[in-house]
Amino acid sequence: MNSLKYLPFESYTLEAKLSITEVRARLEANIESRQGIRNNNRLSGNTGKPYEGKMTSDSFEISRVINYRNSFLPVIKGRIDTYLGKTRITIKMRTVIFVMVFIFFWLGIVGLVCLGILIMGIIQIRELLQHGFSPVVLIPFGMFALGSLLFTFAFKAESKKANSFLSDLLEGQEVEKAS
């Protein structure tokens, strides 16, 4: 079982039948320049493009335009090049650094509490067997599980949307997935 697939990162390569110029043109047609603070009002000059970010001649950094807050929205970095006469787009997705640091810090603290509870349970096993234990000690384990699942599945749901959009837009076939 590959446990890395449950982390909030993705890296894969698309192979497109389109030329580099056509790939670039299709991406540019669907990416608006990044705005500092987004005003979700329809009259604010929203171009209706599904992604925002920046694009250079052979790379891009984008994220999906949404009308709500989602801390787990992936930052998508891509590089366009040719390999054996075919256009390849190498894509890497991750969450925003601040969100990743916060979640890992939070999970680390809760994980240490869980570890402390386990150690104390092992040390005091005789007392636990005689008197039982309070279900309250399970709360940190639930917090850890819920936090991990939320982080993983919220990111994976968004990355799946982005993967599908990019594959359809660029008429690409996934040829390589980093593990």
Q: What is the pLDDT of residue 37?
A: 58
pLDDT value, residue 176? 78
Residue 4 pLDDT greater than 70, yes or no: no
What does the alpha-carbon distance between residue 61 and residue 97 come to, in Å, rounded to a whole number? 14
Task: State pTM to two decimals.
Answer: 0.80
pLDDT per position as a tens digit, 32-79: 988 765 555 444 445 689 999 999 989 999 999 988 888 889 999 999
User: What pLDDT was estimated at residue 11?
Assistant: 93
Mean pLDDT across the stretch 20-37? Answer: 88
For the chain, the average pLDDT equals 88
First to last CA, the chain: 11
Q: Report which of residues 38 and 82 the model is more confident about.
A: 82
Output 18 or 35, whichever has higher pLDDT. Answer: 18
Query: Where is pLDDT greater, at 159 or 41?
Result: 159
pLDDT in tens, 108-155: 999 999 999 999 999 998 888 888 888 999 999 999 999 999 999 999
Q: What is the mean pLDDT of residues 78-100?
A: 93
Least confident of 6-10, 30-34, 57-61, 90-94: 6-10
Alpha carbons within 13 angstroms on the beta-carbon side of residue 72 total: 19
Q: What is the pLDDT of residue 120?
A: 92
pLDDT at 25: 94
pLDDT at 69: 86
3-state secondary structure the chain: CCHHHHCCEEEEEEEECCCHHHHHHHHHHCEEECCCCCCCCHHHCCCCCCEEEEECCCEEEEEECCCCCCCCCCEEEEEEEEECCEEEEEEEEECCHHHHHHHHHHHHHHHHHHHHHHHHHHHCHHHHHHHCCCHHHHHHHHHHHHHHHHHHHHHHHHHHHHHHHHHHHCCEEEEEECC
